[in-house]
């Protein structure tokens, strides 16, 4: 990704209107205060939220394990739902949902509370208790959010698995979390096709002994397999007398887990990132309030899926905690036409839009006419996340969508960080392609492999030097891996992000991309090892190596090198078959863009595949140090 643009000093300043109304101003001074005394800063934010019992200590840091708001008692649902019920927000719209086929559903905070409470009682009746794990594998429908909130309300732990994942990915996540209940749907609509969520669930659950109950939302209404004694329709359960709309919200410790969210790492096994309640809720509340400058009357739309951390934090929890009206769209951005997103902005009068560089690039290619036939004048602020945004896409987003009046918040963060870490504020002079500066309380730097800060504009590793409330607490059931992956890669007891970046002379941070064996395809995070292990599970494949390669729309696309087993020969048919095989194992997002059949893979003398070398050769770049190459 090119970052040479920082040399041009191409700067975009916010209008007076944006500045005058901003929820916060004076970053430089406030930032200094926040890092000088982070505990006072975070306690100030946490006091804006409801606690059943106050904390005794803001932070207890025993490297690399943090506890925030020690001994505080709360529940995120008490803040996202319950507390609005005694104010005018009781009748405010919490969620506006639009289905791919134009259906609309709205839920006021009052109605949301009823649904959540009813389903919480259903989960209790299914034997779910505080601390139990619940897997949610659903399309983007309101029941997905209701299921998350109901789980959190009774103190259980949700593990949401993105509805675009396939059998193996779902299975691995159910097994690792040992979930008792899986909540799914009979299918989902995506780009006018039906995603067969229930048959994938059946395959995965068959080999998951922990699962006692599967709850199925009827979204499509087609014939599916329902296993008696295990599978129940959501609507049937919600009509039983046990599904009372009254349910006490469980009093939780600030450090009780809220959810597990699996993400790709450098080995084949996904990592269960654990977030706890008190620090996480405080962190996402503050970031959303200040970065997206949320006003009482705003309509907020985050185009992500609740199955990713972006959706957890900024579709479900933070918008609801702020009492915002949050929009949720089920389907594809191009169905039935490439103006679908813009039609939603127009239809609901969206004020703040948060999306991805891939989303922008993929709609850019349809041209401006599709945008200009829609009224986007309600927009005030824009946002992007998930991968570096190239300056060309940034400028298009700014000019064509924002009509040169909406600042773009390029927010850098990770599943592990809970919320935005490097980000502009509405007042920040923007430089296309830079995520600007660290959020309040965040101490970030760009360093070399020994942990020494690199000079301005030099590439290095992005690290975080101090704990923050939204940080992951551990990897589920694997604290050793947590320590090794995040805290021991770079000396100095710092958190390693796995990203490389540059910092310019003004302190603006420019994210370059992943340094490890993680590939960001359309903003989705995939491990090379996951893709490779999906490939070698095919009978024709002996060995495989995956690399990321620049792609005009996806940012990065997957290319794989495959060594065939004897008896198999390379052909176009086999290539297609392998691509479908990966899609079937992991999900369509993991489908390789390119497959190249090779006789052997470059390896180190210890037998490790040198992906770095494959990538350098593929891109025509210098090969670097190849002294450990076997031949
Ligand atoms: C990785 C984390 C955090 C929500 C979605 C992704 C990349 C994220 C940006 C950005 C450049 C970005 C990084 C990061 N990334 N935001 N604004 N600019 N790169 O969460 O799946 O955990 O991925 O996404 O490489 O490490 P995730």
What is the secondary structure of 186-219 as a DSSP string? S-EEETTEEE-HHHHHHHHHHT-TT--EEEEE-S
Q: How far is the CA of 98 from the centre of ligand 1 (A)?
A: 26
- Give me the count of residues in the chain: 631
581-603 burial code (b ≥16 CB/10 A, e <16): bbbbbbbebbbbeebebbeebbb
Q: How far is the CA of 414 from the centre of ligand 1 (A)?
A: 5
Q: What is the pLDDT of residue 3?
A: 39
Kind of pairing between the strands at 495-503 and 509-514: antiparallel
CA distance 554 to 522: 4
For the chain, percent of residues with pLDDT exceeding 90? 92
- Residues of the chain with pLDDT below 70 are 1-9, 631
The distance of Cα 324 from the centroid of its chain, to the nearest Å, equals 20
- Closest ligand 1 atom, CA of 310? 4
Per-residue tokens: 227: 């296993």
Q: How far is the CA of 499 from the centre of ligand 1 (A)?
A: 9
Any ligand 1 atom below 6 A from CB of 499: yes
Residue closest by Cα to atom 11 of ligand 1: 388
Q: How far is the CA of 509 from the centre of ligand 1 (A)?
A: 14
Any ligand 1 atom below 6 A from CB of 413: yes
Any ligand 1 atom below 6 A from CB of 305: no
Q: What is the pLDDT of residue 425?
A: 98
CA distance 118 to 580: 40
**Start-end of H helices in 71-196:** 76-80, 109-125, 142-153, 167-177
Q: What is the pLDDT of residue 94?
A: 98
Q: What is the pLDDT of residue 9?
A: 66
Per-residue tokens: 586: 């992991």
3-state DSSP: the chain helix, strand, coil percent, rounded to 5?
Answer: 30, 25, 40
Q: Which of 287, 302, 386, 497 to mutate to test the pocket of ligand 1 (most atoms within 8 A of CB)?
A: 386
Check: CB of residue 509 under 8 Å from CB of residue 444: yes
- Candidates 398, 414, 412; CA nearest to 309 is 414
Q: Assign 441 to helix, strand or coil.
A: coil
Residue closest by Cα to atom 18 of ligand 1: 388
Per-residue tokens: 22: 């901003």
Any ligand 1 atom below 6 A from CB of 394: no
Q: How far is the CA of 286 from the centre of ligand 1 (A)?
A: 19
CA distance 148 to 188: 18
- Candidates 77, 86, 182, 199; CA nearest to 133 is 182
Per-residue tokens: 264: 């790709």
Any ligand 1 atom below 6 A from CB of 117: no
165-189 burial code (b ≥16 CB/10 A, e <16): bbbbbbbbbbebbbbbbbbbbbbbb
Q: Assign 448 to helix, strand or coil.
A: coil
CA distance 468 to 484: 19
CA distance 535 to 541: 7
Residue closest by Cα to atom 1 of ligand 1: 414
Q: How far is the CA of 28 from the centre of ligand 1 (A)?
A: 24
Q: Does residue 38 have a cis peptide bond before it, meaning omega lies within 30 degrees of 0?
A: no
Check: CB of residue 423 under 8 Å from CB of residue 291: yes
What would you report as the CA-atom Rg of the chain, rounded to the nearest whole angstrom? Answer: 24
Q: Which of 357, 414, 434, 475 to mutate to test the pocket of ligand 1 (most atoms within 8 A of CB)?
A: 414
Q: Which of 263, 317, 525, 527 to mutate to test the pocket of ligand 1 (most atoms within 8 A of CB)?
A: 525
Residue closest by Cα to atom 10 of ligand 1: 412
Q: Which residue has the tokens 């259980």?
A: 156
- Candidates 437, 564, 457; CA nearest to 500 is 457
Any ligand 1 atom below 6 A from CB of 496: no
CA distance 168 to 518: 18
Any ligand 1 atom below 6 A from CB of 386: yes
Q: What is the pLDDT of residue 207?
A: 94
Per-residue tokens: 107: 């839920």
- Closest ligand 1 atom, CA of 435? 17
Any ligand 1 atom below 6 A from CB of 412: yes
Any ligand 1 atom below 6 A from CB of 410: yes
Q: How far is the CA of 90 from the centre of ligand 1 (A)?
A: 35
CA distance 344 to 463: 38
Per-residue tokens: 252: 């939780």
Check: CB of residue 164 under 8 Å from CB of residue 191: no
Beta partners for residue 547, in sequence order: 559
Q: What is the pLDDT of residue 4?
A: 43
Any ligand 1 atom below 6 A from CB of 514: yes
Any ligand 1 atom below 6 A from CB of 520: yes
CA distance 399 to 435: 18
- Closest ligand 1 atom, CA of 410? 17
- Closest ligand 1 atom, CA of 384? 17
Check: CB of residue 384 under 8 Å from CB of residue 292: no
For 266-289, give the DSSP string.
SSSSPEEEEEEHHHHHHHHHHHHH
For 388-425, give the DSSP string.
PPPHHHHHHIIIIITTT-S-EEE-B--GGGSS-SEE--
Any ligand 1 atom below 6 A from CB of 387: yes
Residue closest by Cα to atom 3 of ligand 1: 414
Any ligand 1 atom below 6 A from CB of 511: yes
- DSSP class of residue 604 equals B
Q: Is 536 exposed, middle or buried (0-12, 13-18, 19+ CB in 10 A)?
A: middle
């Amino acid at each position: 990704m090119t970052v040479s643009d920082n040399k041009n000093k191409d700067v975009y300043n916010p209008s007076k209107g944006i500045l005058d109304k901003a929820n916060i101003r004076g970053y430089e001074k406030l930032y200094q205060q926040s890092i000088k005394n982070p505990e006072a800063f975070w306690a100030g934010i946490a006091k804006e939220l409801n606690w059943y019992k106050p904390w005794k200590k803001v932070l207890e840091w025993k490297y690399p394990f943090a506890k925030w708001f020690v001994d505080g008692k709360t529940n995120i649902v008490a803040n996202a739902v319950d507390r609005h019920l005694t104010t005018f927000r009781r009748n405010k719209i919490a969620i506006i949902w639009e289905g791919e086929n134009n259906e609309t559903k709205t839920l006021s905070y009052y109605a949301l509370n009823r649904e959540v409470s009813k389903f919480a009682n259903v989960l209790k009746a299914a034997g779910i208790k505080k601390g139990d794990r619940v897997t949610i594998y659903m399309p983007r429908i309101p029941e997905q959010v209701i299921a998350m909130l109901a789980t959190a309300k009774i103190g259980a732990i949700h593990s949401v698995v993105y509805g675009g994942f396939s059998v193996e990915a779902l299975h691995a996540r159910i097994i690792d979390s040992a979930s008792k209940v899986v909540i799914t749907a009979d299918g989902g609509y995506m780009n006018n096709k039906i995603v067969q969520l229930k048959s994938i669930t059946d395959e995965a659950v068959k080999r998951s002994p922990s699962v006692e109950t599967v709850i199925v939302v009827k979204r499509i209404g087609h014939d599916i397999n329902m296993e008696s004694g295990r599978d129940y329709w959501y609507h049937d359960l919600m009509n039983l007398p046990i599904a009372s709309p009254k349910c006490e919200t469980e009093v939780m410790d600030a450090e009780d887990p809220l959810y597990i969210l699996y993400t790709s790492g450098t080995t084949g096994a996904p990592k269960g990132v654990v977030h706890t309640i008190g620090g996480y809720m405080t962190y996402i509340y503050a970031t959303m309030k200040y970065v997206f400058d949320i006003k009482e009357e705003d309509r907020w739309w985050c185009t992500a899926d609740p199955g990713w951390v972006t959706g957890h934090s900024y579709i479900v929890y933070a918008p609801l905690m702020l009492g915002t009206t949050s929009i949720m769209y089920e389907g594809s951005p191009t169905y039935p036409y490439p103006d679908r997103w813009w039609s939603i902005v127009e239809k609901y009068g969206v004020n703040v839009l948060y999306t991805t560089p891939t989303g922008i690039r993929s709609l850019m290619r349809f041209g401006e006419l599709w945008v200009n036939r829609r009224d986007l004048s309600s927009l005030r602020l824009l946002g992007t996340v998930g991968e570096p945004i190239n300056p060309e896409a940034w400028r298009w987003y700014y000019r064509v969508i924002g009509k040169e009046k909406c600042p773009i918040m390029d927010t850098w963060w990770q599943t592990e960080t809970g919320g935005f870490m490097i980000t502009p504020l509405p007042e920040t002079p923007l430089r296309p392609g830079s995520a600007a500066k660290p959020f309040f309380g965040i101490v970030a730097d760009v360093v070399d492999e020994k942990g020494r800060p690199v000079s301005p504009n030099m590439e290095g590793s992005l690290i975080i030097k101090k704990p923050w409330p939204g940080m992951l607490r551990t990897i589920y059931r694997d604290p050793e891996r947590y320590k090794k992956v995040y805290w021991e890669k770079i000396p100095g007891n710092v958190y390693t992000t796995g990203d490389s970046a540059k910092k310019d002379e003004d302190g603006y941070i420019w994210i370059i991309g992943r340094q490890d064996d993680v590939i960001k395809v359309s903003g989705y995070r995939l491990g090379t090892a996951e893709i490779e292990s999906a490939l070698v599970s095919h009978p024709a494949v002996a060995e495989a190596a995956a690399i990321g390669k620049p792609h005009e729309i996806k940012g990065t696309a997957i290319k794989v090198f495959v060594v065939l087993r004897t008896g198999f020969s390379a052909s176009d048919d086999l290539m297609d078959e392998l691509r479908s095989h990966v899609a079937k194992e992991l999900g369509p997002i993991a489908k390789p863009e390119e497959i190249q059949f090779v006789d052997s893979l470059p390896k180190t003398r210890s037998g490790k595949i040198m992906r770095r070398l494959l990538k350098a050769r593929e891109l025509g770049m210098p090969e670097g140090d190849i002294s450990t190459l076997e031949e």
